[in-house]
Structures are given as C-alpha cells and as structure tokens.
C-alpha cells in the first residue's frame, strides 16, 4: 500500500475545498495496493502506488504532460549537472527568503506548521528537491500532470510529496499557505499564486532568456522565444506581485550528441519529435566527424512578492 506523504495532508479537496485529512474508506476509489485521502464531504482521491496523489477532477481541459521518454531525458540531462548553477541559485534564493528577518524562517523552530515550498510544473522535482534539501524544516509539494514525472517526483526526496491537479482551476491549498513558490518554465496561474503565498512569501519565476538554446532552434525545430515576452510578464505580474529583483544566468554548454538529444526531448519538442529524428537533424548540422557543439543556456530569474495593496480575504 502506498504511503501517504505528510505534505499531501496539507492539501484541500478540489471539489469542496475541505481538508483532506481522512484515510479513504473501503467504499472510496482506491483499489488494492493503493491508499487514499478523503474530505469530510466524502470526496475520495487516490494516492497511486508510486506515491503521488491524484486530485484531477476531469473538469478542466485534459493535459497529458510529458511522456516517459521526455521524463527520462530530463532525468539524464539534469543528472549530468548542466543546469547545476540554476539549481544552486534557486536553492540560495529560496533559503534567503525563508531565513529573512521577521519572516517564516526564524520562527520555524517554534511553529507548528512547516515551511512549505510548492513547485508548479515540477516535473521530476529536481529543483524543488534541492530547495527542500537545504532547509531541514521544509516540506515540498511537486505539482505536475505527467504520470511518469509524478512517479519520479514522489521519490525524489523524503520531504517532497507529489500531486496532480488542474493548474487552470483553483489550486487545492488554503489561502496564505505557501512560503516559496517555484515556477521553472511552467504554466502560470498568477491569481492562485498570489492567493497561496503567505505574507512575505516569495515567488521564484524562471523564464528562458532571449538566447536560450538559440543554436538549436533552427536545426532541431525548437520552439523560439516569443517577442515581447518580458513586457507581457510585467503586465501579468502588475497589481498582483511586486518584483523584488530580476537576474539573468547564462552559461555556454559543450554538449555531445546524446546530451543534445536529451536537451531537445525534455522540452516541448519532445511531444512531436522523437530521438531518432533529432539525431538525424543533428547529423546535418554538425561538422564532418563532429561529436559535440556549444549551446547557450540562459535563464531569467524573477523574484517577487505579493503586492501589498492586494490583501487576500
């Protein structure tokens, strides 16, 4: 039977918003080998065998998320440490937010509630695990819709729980319940992000820089960076969040063919182009006998807090 992670007990019912604080009874949906949670209203939800909680209700547009091949590519590529500077920087910024004077950090030793770090579109919870690992009293919640990714996330760290829910709908957490919210190249629901952040809580939002993977866009058919994306982001944040800082982290990666294929597969291209086709395209652009090429990785990290004038009722 799957073990119900402590972080999952912080969630709320997506149907009636009541606490999910009761084991699902025999009449609930979980089958043999699974566990579940239910609310006081009797709505029950599966904790899958691999340990993630499924809170999708089917009332939003069905999104399947990353495939098993895409998830494996992500595991392999990130496991090689290519994005380690981004991982370390996010852990550093989250740690500073949690330890700020007068914030959640100093009081945590006496507080009943843990520090809660939520990552939306978390995939395998690579970044979330690093943040939680640096904070002994933190719990992490990894949110995604990809079953292969959620299975990985559920076992990524002892203090990280994994959950599937519909990002476009109200998120199944109470107001002011999250200390740090991570979003790395993931869909945004800024009204819900604002609602969930505690006073002084921090949103860490990572978007691609203008030259991110520029060398691969044409040859491998990667999705380009939309013009005016920074202006649109500023408009989205306005009124809900106050941007505290913005920084760009850029490095040049020298990648072999296998790594280039992994990098392409772990993004949107992986939904419609397989590894074999990506290798064929690489052969056409690499010099004769070439086995590697240099690629720019560029990340813009925006750090924001909820706008003071918008109090959550």
Assess whether pLDDT exceeds 80 at residue 60: no
Sign of the dihedral through C-alpha 238, 242, 247, 253? negative
Sign of the dihedral through C-alpha 275, 276, 282, 288? positive
The residues facing 196 across adjacent strands are none
pLDDT (0 to 100) of residue 58 = 74
Mean pLDDT of 269-295: 89
Which band of pLDDT confidence, cut at 50, 70 and 90, is reported for residue 288?
confident
CA angle 218, 224, 228 (to 5 degrees): 145
Which band of pLDDT confidence, cut at 50, 70 and 90, is reported for residue 152?
very high
Break the chain into its structural domains and give their ranges: 1-50, 56-306
Q: Please identify, in words, the CATH class of the domain defined by 56-306.
A: alpha beta
Nearest to 70 by CA among 307, 303, 225, 262: 262
pLDDT (0 to 100) of residue 26 = 46
Average pLDDT of every residue of the chain: 88
Residue 53, exposed/middle/buried by CB under 10 A (0-12, 13-18, 19+)? buried
Q: Phi first, then psi: give them for residue 287, nearest 5 degrees.
A: -60, 160
Q: In this predicted model, what pLDDT tens digit does every residue of 107-137 receive, in sequence order?
A: 434 444 789 999 999 999 999 999 999 999 9
Residue 102 vs residue 226, higher pLDDT: 226
Pairing mode of beta strands 178-184, 197-208: parallel
Q: How far apart (Å, rounded) are the C-alpha atoms in residues 296 and 224?
A: 13
Of 8-17, 61-70, 91-100, give the lowest mean pLDDT range.
61-70
**% of the chain with per-residue pLDDT over 70:** 89
The answer to whether the beta carbons of residues 7 and 158 sit under 8 Å apart is no
Mean pLDDT of 29-43: 71
pLDDT (0 to 100) of residue 61 = 61
pLDDT (0 to 100) of residue 99 = 85
pLDDT (0 to 100) of residue 206 = 98
Nearest to 130 by CA among 164, 161, 100, 89: 89
Mean pLDDT of 156-167: 95
Mean pLDDT of 164-189: 94
The answer to whether the beta carbons of residues 204 and 183 sit under 8 Å apart is yes
Q: In this predicted model, what pLDDT tens digit does every residue of 225-273 receive, in sequence order?
A: 777 888 889 999 999 999 999 999 999 999 999 999 999 999 999 999 9
């Amino acid at each position: 039977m799957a073990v119900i992670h402590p972080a999952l007990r912080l969630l709320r019912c997506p149907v009636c918003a009541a606490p999910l604080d009761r084991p699902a009874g025999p009449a609930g949906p979980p089958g043999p080998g699974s566990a579940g949670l239910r609310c006081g209203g009797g709505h029950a939800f599966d904790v899958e065998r691999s340990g993630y909680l499924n809170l999708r209700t089917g009332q939003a547009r069905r999104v399947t998320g990353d495939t098993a091949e895409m998830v494996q590519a992500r595991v392999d590529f990130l496991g090689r440490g290519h994005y380690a500077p981004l991982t370390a920087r996010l852990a550093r910024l989250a740690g500073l937010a949690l330890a700020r004077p007068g914030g959640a950090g100093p009081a945590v030793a006496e507080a009943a509630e843990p520090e809660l770090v939520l990552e939306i579109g978390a995939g395998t919870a690579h970044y979330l695990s690093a943040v939680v690992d640096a904070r002994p009293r933190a719990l992490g919640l990894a949110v995604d819709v990809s079953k292969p990714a959620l299975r990985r996330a559920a076992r990524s760290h002892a203090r990280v729980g994994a959950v599937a829910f519909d990002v476009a709908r109200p998120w199944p957490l109470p107001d002011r319940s999250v200390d740090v919210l991570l979003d790395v190249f993931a869909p945004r629901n800024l009204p819900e992000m604002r609602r969930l952040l505690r006073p002084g809580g921090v949103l860490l939002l990572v978007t691609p820089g203008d030259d991110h993977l520029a060398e691969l866009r044409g040859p491998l058919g990667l999705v380009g960076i939309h013009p005016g994306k920074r202006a649109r982001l500023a408009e989205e944040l306005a009124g809900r969040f106050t941007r505290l800082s913005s920084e760009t982290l850029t490095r040049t990666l020298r990648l072999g063919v296998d790594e280039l294929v992994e990098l392409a597969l772990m993004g949107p291209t992986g939904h419609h182009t397989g590894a074999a086709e990506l290798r064929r395209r690489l052969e056409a652009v690499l010099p004769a006998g070439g086995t590697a090429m240099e690629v720019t990785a560029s990340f813009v990290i925006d750090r924001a807090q909820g706008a003071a004038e918008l109090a959550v009722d």
